[in-house]
Amino acid sequence: MTHIKVKVDGTTYEDDVEPRLLLAHYLRDRLGLTGTPIGCDTSNCGACTVDLDGASVKSCSVLAVQADGSEVTTVQGLAENGEWTALQRAFHEQHGLQCGYCTPGMLMAARDLLRENPHPKPNQVREALEGNLCRCTGYQNIVRAVLVASGEKIVQKVVEEVEA
């Protein structure tokens, strides 16, 4: 067993974990943070994406021991003072989800993109989300939601580009 100390969604946890325990399983099974789903366990789908020290990672491809001393934000830590962020609101308002299984990972990956590039173009959104698979929406509404959340003045124009 290895002792780890990790801050998740603002709360610090200390645990003894097996060195082989995946971060995704630590979050879900030990901390009960089941808002981060597991869709494949093979690093393909992106559903398990979380923020690790300022970068989005697929938590099924990171060991819990690798998060020792780090700060993790999951989809459950996104809301600010109980209010959805602009990105969360945009997903809701633009119908950027159907079953919702991919949504936590989409939100975390999109958040990472907007932090790096606050005003992305449609193709940049698509590229940023290429590691996140959705079986439901065909991606149109997801891309549009990210563009709307970016708040760019020309957003209506790029929305029209997406829909063209």
Provide the binding-site residues for ligand FES, judged by CB under 6 A: 38-41, 43-48, 58, 60, 97-103, 134-137
Residue whose CB is less far from ligand FES, 5 or 135: 135
Output 140 or 156, the one with its CB closest to ligand FES: 140
The minimum distance between CB 157 and ligand FES, in angstroms, equals 26
Give start and end residues of each alpha helix (H) in 66-135.
Answer: 86-93, 103-116, 122-128
33: number of Cβ within 10 Å: 20
Min. distance of Cβ 61 from ligand FES in angstroms?
7
Structure tokens at 38: 């597991």
Q: Between residues 98 and 124, which has the closer beta carbon with respect to ligand FES? A: 98
What minimum distance in Å lies between the beta carbon of 41 and ligand FES? 5
> Using an 8 Å Cβ cutoff, are 23 and 38 in contact?
no
Three-class SS of 106-124: HHHHHHHHHHHCCCCCHHH
Closer to ligand FES at the Cβ: 100 or 118?
100
- Complex with ligand FES: residue 55 or 154, whichever CB lies closer: 55
CB of 77 to ligand FES, least distance (A): 18
Q: Tell me the CB-side half-sphere exposure of residue 76, using CA atoms within 13 A.
A: 15
Minimal distance, residue 63 CB to ligand FES, in Å: 13
Type of residue at 77: G
